Amino acid sequence: MNVRFSVNGPALNKQIAESMRKKNSANDFERNIKATSGELLKTKFEKMKKQMVVDFLNLPITKEIMSGPGSSNISGTLGGYGDLFSFIGFDRGDNHIGPILNLLYKSNCKFGRMDASGRFRLSIDIPTAEQIFDVTPLPWAPGISWAKRMEVGLSGLGMFLSKESQYSRSGGGVQSKSQIRKGTFSNSQYISHFIKNWNKKFIDLIKGGRF
């Protein structure tokens, strides 16, 4: 997501506007524009960015995958049987949450210079759901995103056997060639819902800025 917001010169605090016109520096805008709370908007953004990462790490699906093979199915996606790390088929020791965190950490807030009409621009960039899907391939099907499959469904639960095995990628489960039990994957809100919520929060931050 890239949110761009333009502010007209007349809407600026007169003293700030006069100073900005003389200096016309993005850094000066960064040091003067405040959020509704009275904090500098840039400072508030950085605090929200940290909270966004914390919220992502606390999502049940994220926590379950980070716990690795043998963890509990706290996300409820498997009906309480086995764990997502093993069911998805990740290789033991791999970090599949890292690529998502890298994108979230790259989120930024940029201030532009004032143009000839007396307007300046600021923008906030956070990753889109599609960008996250692009860095979360299934280990056995690179063209499919495991993160997206948490939302739309992942087949094979009826053939999944949760058990330690030397023949398993994860070491915590194997797939049978035939159905061994009843069970279907329970779709869950994940990346799309998470990003949509944070898009709104950052848009509200910009709209609530004190200019």
CB 121 within 8 A of CB 109: no
Residue 111 near residue 29, CB atoms below 8 Å? yes
User: How do residues 28-61 score in pLDDT, each as one tens digit?
Assistant: 666 667 666 778 888 999 999 999 999 999 999 9
H or E stretch covering 67: none
Tokens of 178: 């035939």
Predicted confidence at residue 210, as pLDDT, reads: 46
* Encoded amino acid at 172, one letter: G
Give me the mean pLDDT over the 196-203 stretch: 93
Does position 124 have pLDDT exceeding 80, yes or no? yes
- Cα 58 from chain centre: 12
Q: What is the mean pLDDT of residues 174-197?
A: 83
Q: What is the pLDDT of residue 12?
A: 47
Question: pLDDT tens for residues 7-17?
Answer: 444 444 554 55
Asked if pLDDT for residue 18 goes beyond 70, the answer is: no
Query: Average model confidence (pLDDT) for the chain?
Result: 80
Give every CB contact of residue 188 below 8 A, 6+ residues apart in sequence.
Answer: 60, 61, 75, 76, 77, 150, 151
User: CA 34 to CA 43: how far, in whole Å?
Assistant: 9
What distance in Å separates the CA atoms of residue 138 and residue 145, rounded to the nearest whole number? 6
Whole-number CA gyration radius for the chain: 23
